[in-house]
Amino acid sequence: MSRIFSDFKAFGLAYLRSRTGFFFALIFPVILILVFGAIFSQSGAQKINLPVQDLDDSYWSHTYLKFLDKTGAFSIQMIASDVDFDQYIKDELLVLAMQISPGFGTSVSNALNATGPPASIVLKGDPTNSYFSIGQGAATAVASQLAFYGHNVTDVAVVVPQTIGKPQYTFIDFFVPGMIGFTALTTPMFSMSSICSEYRNRGFFKLLGSTPLTKSEWLAAKILWYTVLMLASIAIMYAVGIAVFDAHFTITPMAILLVIVGVFLFTSFGMFLGVFVSNPESASALANAIGFPMMFLSGIFFQVESMPVYLQYIAKALPLTYLAEGLRATMSLGNDVVAATDLVILLVSGIVVFVIAARSMSWKGK
């Protein structure tokens, strides 16, 4: 333990004194939150995979859904009317769902006759997901088409967007869990791959090989360091989220566990990548080549279900998918059952990658 602590302390000192490492670990995520938060907190635009609960089951609700389907922008799946809509969203981890309330048809008829206010359609979604704004735009456009059935009527039906989860949740409450998953991938994986390459090129591994420190202890020290760094990063993100955007998300114990296991996995994976590259620049390029597609396929920014089938298979094979899903489940939806399943998947993957990484790496010369 003292050896791990010694390596942890020395590595931490060197790390914090590296401006690049400090910037990417603690400052870069905050800048992303500020920039993306400012842009997407008031968003709007279109698209796909739309579960719909039609509690009205009337001519007008059928007409609306028929028009919606004709746009070709959505794949509509019906939710049974006796199902609890909010619970269904939570259980299925949906990023977009629509509910047509009882009396929708009557409201449309009244609005067409100018004897009542417009009917409303509830569209619930994750505001950080691009499909929420796309879906909202398309659903609103179709709702406005119903006005053609009347004379001199402009608003027959309106789409009411709502965030899933707690009513007070806003964009930032969904954005931060994704950002935590993103940072848990980038910080350890990108830097570990470069560090391994640098250590080998500069003879540090040989030097360490001359001490009683084992490879597993060295890797454990790195995992410990990145875990501490990630927890500090989360604390900063949390503080900025509250101070700047009045965020309401909660950091649950399950979220902490997911981050720790995620860091364990991605630190090991970074070390594994570092085994195969000759210099830090190549390591960085390899980590980017693997890391960035992983980010965009893991459901952090785009709905996995709306991707082509082959990409969905790839997404399901990516560990970041489970980290992002688990963090969103526990932090945004309060669904710890799904988060626990994701935790187990990440832990098993982490153990496998740790063992492979430790065995692949040799501190000896050839």
Q: Using alpha carbons only, what angle is made at residue 335 by residues 333 and 339, rounded to the nearest 5 degrees?
A: 115
Q: How far is the CB of 201 from another protein (least distance, A)?
A: 9
Q: Are 102 and 56 in contact (CB under 8 A)?
A: yes
- Tell me the C-alpha distance between 108 and 275, whole Å: 65
Residue 204 or 238: the one with the smaller Cβ distance to another protein is 204
Of the residues 42, 82, 308, 364, which one makes contact with another protein according to CB under 8 A: 364
Please state the φ and ψ torsions of residue 80, each to the nearest 5 degrees: -55, 145
Backbone angles phi, psi at 334, to 5 degrees: 70, 25
Q: What distance in Å separates the CA atoms of residue 9 and residue 94, rounded to the nearest whole number?
A: 43
List the one residue from 82, 210, 253, 308 that touches another protein (CB under 8 A): 210
Nearer to another protein, 197 or 306 (CB): 197
Burial class (CB in 10 A: 0-12, 13-18, 19+), 32: middle
* CA angle, 21 then 364 then 291, to 5°: 35
Stretches 35-43, 114-122, 201-209, 256-264: which one binds another protein (CB under 8 A)?
A: 201-209
Residue 150 interacting with another protein (CB under 8 A): no
Q: Please select the residue that binds another protein; options are 32, 153, 208, 340, rule is CB under 8 A.
A: 208
Determine, following the binding rule CB under 8 A, whether residue 23 of this chain makes contact with another protein: no
Residue 209 sits in the site that holds another protein (CB under 8 A): yes
Asked if 10 is part of the footprint of another protein (rule: CB under 8 A), the reply reads yes
225 binds another protein (CB under 8 A): no
Among 272, 302, 322, 363, binds another protein (CB under 8 A): 363
Q: Kindly state the smallest distance separating residue 186's Cβ from another protein, in Å.
A: 22
- Which of 42, 82, 152, 212 is close enough to bind another protein by CB under 8 A? 212
Alpha helix positions (H), 53-95: 59-70, 85-92
Find the shortest distance in angstroms from Cβ 363 to another protein: 7
Q: Is the dihedral of CA 6, 9, 11, 17 positive or negative?
A: negative
Helix (H/G/I), strand (E/B), else coil: 96: strand
Question: Would you tell me how many other CB atoms lie within 10 Å of the CB of residue 262?
Answer: 32
Question: Shortest approach of another protein to residue 303 CB, angstroms?
Answer: 43
Per CB under 8 A, residues contacting another protein are 2-3, 5-7, 9-10, 13-14, 17-18, 202-204, 206-213, 363-366
